[in-house]
Each structure stands twice: as C-alpha cells, then as structure tokens.
Structure 1
Amino acid sequence: MSADEDSVRGWSRLHGEDVSGNRVAVGWIRLVHLLARPVARVPPDVLSAAGVLSTAGAVVTASRWPWVALVLVVLGGVLDGVDGAVALRAGRARPLGAVVDAVADRLSDVGLAAVLVALGGDFRWAAAIVVAMFLHEYARARAQGVGMSSAGAITVAERPTRVVIVAVACLGAAVFPTATPWTRWPWATVCLALWSLCALVGGAQLVAGIRRALAGRSRPGSGMADEPGDDLR
C-alpha cells in the first residue's frame, strides 16, 4: 500500500467515513499529509493552537491589509488539516487530541465569521451563521454520542468550504476593494450569502445522513433503546 493510500485509509478510519471515492477529499488529505512531513515532530496540539492564532491574526488585519488576512486564513485552514495528519503519521491520535482539535476548529470558525465582519459584513448576519455552524457540528456530535459511528455525511458546509469562502472574500477585497465587479455588493456580503446557502444545503445533507445512520439503531430488536429525553426520530 502506498503512503497516499495509507493516509486516506487512516483518515477514513479515524472519522468513520469512507472518502476514497471523493476526489476532492482524497486530494486534500494527500496534500495535508505531504505538508505534515516537515513538521512531523511538532505536537499536534501546538499546530491546532497555531491555526487559531493565524485566524485571529486575519481578523486583526482584514480591514487594512486583506492580502495579509488572505495568507493567514489559508494558513489557518492548512494547519487545521496538518495537525490531524501529524497525529496520524506519528501515532499520536488520541481522544483528548480530538477534543482539542474540535475546540480549535470552533474558535477558528468564529474567527472566520469575524473576518467577514471586519471586511464590512453585517454582524448580526455573521452571528446567525455562527449559530447555524454550531448547530451543524452539535447535531453531528450528538448523533455520534448516541451511536452514529460515522460523520453522517460530508456536506458542502464543512470547514474547508468555510475557509475557502472567507479566503475568497479577502482576495476579492484586495483586488476589488470597493465591491464585487458583478453585483456591486461588498465582498463580505456576497460571501455571507454564499456561506448561508452552504449552511442551508449542508444542514439538509447532514440531517439526511444522520437519519440514515440512526434509522436501524432505533428499531425494535436493534439492541438500542432510546434514552430518556432523547428524540431519535
């Protein structure tokens, strides 16, 4: 088995989701494992923290230096993938590390929304998107807590998509500072709308995936009874 195939299988095993048929996901996994080689000895938690700090730096620089914010947003997204790749390559994958990574991801997601606000986006709209993102991740975590062994579904609203959307906003603000050349709307507004659309579609995809994953577990004779207060319908 090649190193590339091993990295894809390792990611699939860790997340309980077979992505071998998804060219985009496979390409991303192979890229982050390639980038992980030079920093293989750095603790994954340090890389997770560096990703959060990079996104925070993008918030600070977005309004004045969108080019710098673009670099920091992309760097934060790369570090988010590299920390997991280092953990897998070094055999350091552990439950506590997964918790640290999840917390770092949520902090970075808030930072991504804050970047759009710094670029002129509406604060209330960005806050609503953050709430939707938290609900997306909470629903997945809750489903996994009651027996779902996979991610439910790899949706269009996953973290790489969020990073790309905010990176596009930074790039657009750097190249066309006044507004988008097509709609004449601010870049932050366009990207908030795009993020909202992805959140709606991704939420529907995740709900469908969770229903499929848990359908067999709540049937009589499946070996799993509903816990008090838990609605698995």
Structure 2
Amino acid sequence: MAWDDYVAAWSGLHGGFDPRGASPLVRGWVLSAYKIGSFLGRKRISPLTVTLAGLLLCLGVPVVIGLAGPPGGLAAGALLVLLAAVADGLDGAVAVVTGRVTRAGHVYDSVADRLGEAAWLTAFWLAGVPAWLAVSAGAAGWLHEYLRARATTAGMTEIGVVTVGERPTRVAVAVTGLVLAPIAAIIAPAWTVPALTVTVSIWLALQTAGLAQLTVAVHRALR
C-alpha cells in the first residue's frame, strides 16, 4: 500500500484527522508505523498478534516492578511501556496495510489499551503511589475514552478535538515517570515515591484537562 493510500485509510479510522498536517512528531510516528507495519504485513504477522504482544508487555510492567523494585524494576518497566506503545501503534498499521481492518479488531485494541493502562497504574501503586491517586488517574483516562466512544455512537462523525489527555500523552507520562524515578532512586532513595506520585498527579491533571476539552467539543458537535 502506498503512503498516500495508507494516510487516507488511517484518516478514515481516526475521525478524518490527516497526519500529514500534524506536528513533525505525530507525522513521523505515523510514517514509522506505516513502514514497520508494511514489513510485519509482508511477514504475515496478524494485527491481533501485535495487539496481544502489546498487552503482554503492559502486563509485565507491574510484574517486573513488583519483583525487582527500584531502580532496576522501574527502568525495566519504562522499557516495557515504550515497547508496548510501539506495538499499540503497529497493530492498526498492520491492519490497514494488509486490508484486515475489522470492527472487532478496533474493539480488541481499545480493550487492550485500557487493560494496559490499568497495568501501568498498578505498577505505580506497587512502587508506592497512593491507591486513590492511581485509581483517579485511571478513571479519568477511562472516562475520556468513554465520552468519545459514546459521542461517536450518538452521531459525532469527527474526532472532535485532539486533547492534552490522549493515549500518546499517557504513554509519554508513564515512560517519563518510570525513567526519572530510578534516577531519583540512585541520587536519593527518598525521592523515588514522590517522583512517581508527581508523575501520576500530572497524568490525572492532563486527563482532567483533556476531558474538559473533549466535553466542549462533544457539546458543540451534538447540540
């Protein structure tokens, strides 16, 4: 599949959002997913296989943190989150490139994303973040995705708005926190939990702001 054909198909699956007009980071990410997805498609690797691989990587994050602890477990967790994020971007690319886009696959991918994020926040809790904060951050992220899904069901045909609380933001916050925390653990072990707590607090703040942005967009689209 040619790049322009891929963009047209990808845009149709993302509310008409054209990545060619996005920031260099987003455009580069979509282009990289297209190239790697094309390679995986030629190797006959299915989109579902990539989705399951990403989910397993996410589930491994609380395991390595629970077993190894800081700083090594946190660093390994950051690597797993990053690899899971790559897999998350590739399953859709493989589906588009191979012509295997299905409604069931979209549902499986969304469920895997929510389970993966729950695993990340569980890892933060195991590392010392207050349970109420981890649960609040997870609930805010879930509500963000639920609102958009329900709005689409109600007739919103476009993405509405790219908020500050989208999935890539959650990935970036999780990776950043899990990278900085082991550094803090080396410099001053007492800083580890505060660093992780600040990370999840930022997650919650961005999700709350994103939810407000999305609520306004949904109201305008459906009124």
Work out whether residues 112 and 163 of structure 1, in 8 Å CA contact, stay in contact via their aligned partners in 2: no
Alignment partners' CA distance in 2, 1:197 and 1:179: 27
Alignment partners' CA distance in 2, 1:131 and 1:193: 13
Deviation at 1:89, TM superposition (A): 0.4
Deviation at 1:92, TM superposition (A): 0.3
Alignment CA distance shift 1:185-1:112 (3 Å): closer
Q: How does 1:1-233 map to 2 (within 5 A)?
A: 3-19=2-18, 20-23=20-23, 24-40=25-41, 41-63=44-66, 64=68, 65-177=73-185, 186-215=194-223
TM-score of the superposition, structure 2-length normalised? Answer: 0.87
Identity %: 35
Greater relative contact order (Cα 8 A, min sep 6): structure 1 or 2? 2
Work out whether residues 7 and 30 of structure 1, in 8 Å CA contact, stay in contact via their aligned partners in 2: no
Alignment partners' CA distance in 2, 1:193 and 1:105: 20
Work out whether residues 173 and 179 of structure 1, in 8 Å CA contact, stay in contact via their aligned partners in 2: no
Deviation at 1:45, TM superposition (A): 1.1
SS in 1 for 2:163: coil
Alignment partners' CA distance in 1, 2:65 and 2:54: 16
> Aligned letter for 1:52?
L
CA radius of gyration, larger in: 1
CA displacement 1:94-125 (0-9 Å, x = unmatched)? 11111111111111111121122123211111
SS in 1 for 2:60: helix
Work out whether residues 61 and 68 of structure 1, in 8 Å CA contact, stay in contact via their aligned partners in 2: yes
TM-score of the superposition, structure 1-length normalised? Answer: 0.84
Deviation at 1:68, TM superposition (A): 1.4
Structure 2: gaps of 5 or more residues: none
Alignment CA distance shift 1:94-1:138 (3 Å): same
Alignment RMSD = 2.1
Which stretch has the larger CA shift, 86-95 or 57-66?
57-66
Deviation at 1:50, TM superposition (A): 1.0
Work out whether residues 182 and 192 of structure 2, in 8 Å CA contact, stay in contact via their aligned partners in 1: no
